[in-house]
Structure 1
Amino acid sequence: MRVVSANVNGIRATVRRGGLAWLAAQEPDVLALQEVRASDAQLAAALAGSAFESWNVVHAPAAAAGRAGVAVLSKHAIDGHEVGLPGFEEDGRWLEATLDIDGQAVTVVSAYVHTGETGTAKQDDKFAFLEAMGARMTQLLDGDTVITGDFNICHTVRDLKNWKGNRGKSGFLPEEQKHLTAWFESGWVDVVRQRSGDIDGPYTWWSWRGKAFDNDSGWRIDYVLDSPSLAARVDRHLIGRAASYADRWSDHAAVVVDHR
């Protein structure tokens, strides 16, 4: 089972920039998208004519048009899905899809955590979402579950190039990082970190501005977390960093994980 997770920074923009073709070339079995920023009809139109047109799709758009939105696309049957977390049912930030993978039930989650802003109500919303997310993750841990998405948090200094300059800012707050630490200590496996080891990066987000991408001054905020049963079956991973700034189709890189 190849899982690809990608913050597309707007599905229609990704189509224009060639991102959908890149994603299809990875030959995923499951594609989890964040920041879709589209209605159901707009998503269907964006997928029309692509390799994903005939795939099974579940989508959780945000109530506010043009904001957030998550989706799961699957070659396999989707037996059921759940949208939202308590208090965040219409925010387009959490979607669970239960897939039938060769007779085995696998839950795939696409999550998009708030960006936040230190000292504001936006940060309060982010903390509340992380609490709700953690509570649901506790319930999902014992099954075959993969949680993908843009968490908008760098867990350690290894995950942020300019960590000194970002101390005290949302995305690198100890209060945010403790949520990830708790998840990992409970058994969730950060697949990319486990396989990459104690190195800087690999980063998954770079600002469009300046030379951030060219200098690899990035943030690792996009994750694939496996429950223990699935983590034992990981065979390969890839960070889909574009070859050059001109080749970028999102400000994020996709995360690809293969399971045996």
Structure 2
Amino acid sequence: MKFISWNVNGLRAIVKKNFTDTFEKLNADFFCVQETKLQEGQLNLSLSGYHQYWNYAQKKGYSGTAIFAKKPAINAKYGIGNDHFDSEGRVITLEYPDFYLVNCYTPNSQNSLNRLEFRLEWENAFQSYLKKLDKQKPLILCGDLNVAHNNIDLKNWRTNQQHAGFTTQEREKMTQLLSSGFIDTFRFLHPDEIGKYTWWSYRFHARDNNAGWRIDYFIASKVLYAKIIAADILSDIYGSDHCPIELDLKI
């Protein structure tokens, strides 16, 4: 099965940049997007052969997630069952016979770390949610998790310490997640590969210079490690300040 995840930074905008052509070429079994930035009824997206699952933020033009799946889910859940976090359209969970698929857009800590406390509260609640799912059946978590875990995961790590997405607290939360029975699939297959990023600032020609961050992930339950065929970063695909990422599983 092929899984794709992409923070599109505005689905209505990227649809005007050949999104559907890219979607068709990738031919994924599951295509997860984050930061859709729209409300129900604002976009009629025709994707033949796919079931569509949407989670909209209450705030207009903000956040939002969607999953496009070739196979219908047994169950679909929107949010994590916590009213404090579920108004921003950040999580969709699809249940299938052998696994859960969780699409997530993690809150950004923002400039001056104005939202770091909220982010850390989110991490605790979200990890608790994931662990409960994992006890029932294996899961695949994907999305923009808004953290570069290790120094190797961003170009300019020395000058970005304690900046949003690279604070000690956020990195420790990722370590905590991976230590509780999950795998960073890209690093599992490419433990030492450098220069592989998924997000670049629009400023200072960052993408041209590959001055990026790896903040988009496929995280899988450890029991799935033998089923991982490939985990790739599709940095040659444009249209957003993020690029898509891919996971191939024999499942």
Q: Is the 8 A contact 1:14 1:20 kept in 2?
A: no
2:88 to 91, 113, 116: 91
Q: Is the 8 A contact 1:235 1:259 kept in 2?
A: yes
Q: Distance between the aligned counterparts of 1:95 and 1:150, measured in 2?
A: 13
How far did residue 121 of structure 1 move? Answer: 4.3
Q: Distance between the aligned counterparts of 1:61 and 1:138, measured in 2?
A: 24
How far did residue 23 of structure 1 move? Answer: 2.4
Q: Is the 8 A contact 2:52 2:69 kept in 1?
A: yes
2:245 to 225, 235, 255: 255
Q: Distance between the aligned counterparts of 1:33 and 1:232, measured in 2?
A: 26
- State the 4+ residue runs in structure 1 displaced beyond 4 angstroms: 118-121
Q: Is the 8 A contact 2:101 2:140 kept in 1?
A: yes
Q: Distance between the aligned counterparts of 2:120 and 2:167, measured in 1?
A: 11
- Is 1:4 the counterpart of 2:4? The answer is yes
Residues 65-76 of structure 1: pairs in structure 2 closer than 5 A: 65-76=60-71
- Is 1:140 the counterpart of 2:133? The answer is yes
Describe the superposition over 1:130-177 as per-residue Cα deviations: whole angstroms up to 9, x where unpaired. 111111111122412100010110101000101111112111011111
Q: Distance between the aligned counterparts of 1:98 and 1:149, measured in 2?
A: 17
Describe the superposition over 1:29-88 as per-residue Cα deviations: whole angstroms up to 9, x where unpaired. 001110011123224x1x22xxx2441111110000110001111000112111112121
Match of 2:164 in 1: 170
TM-score, L = length of structure 1 = 0.90
- Is 1:152 the counterpart of 2:146? The answer is yes
Match of 2:74 in 1: 79
Q: Is the 8 A contact 1:189 1:231 kept in 2?
A: yes
Aligned to 2:179, the other structure's residue is in SS state: helix
Match of 2:98 in 1: 105
Counterpart code for 2:248: D
Match of 1:239 in 2: 233
1:116 to 93, 109, 113: 109
Q: Is the 8 A contact 2:195 2:210 kept in 1?
A: no
Residue 118 to residue 39, structure 1, CA distance change in 2 (3 Å): closer
Q: Which moved more, 1:234-243 or 1:67-76?
A: 234-243
Residues 120-131 of structure 1: pairs in structure 2 closer than 5 A: 120-131=113-124
The CA RMSD over aligned residues, in Å, is 1.5
Q: Distance between the aligned counterparts of 2:54 and 2:198, measured in 1?
A: 23
- Is 1:202 the counterpart of 2:202? The answer is no
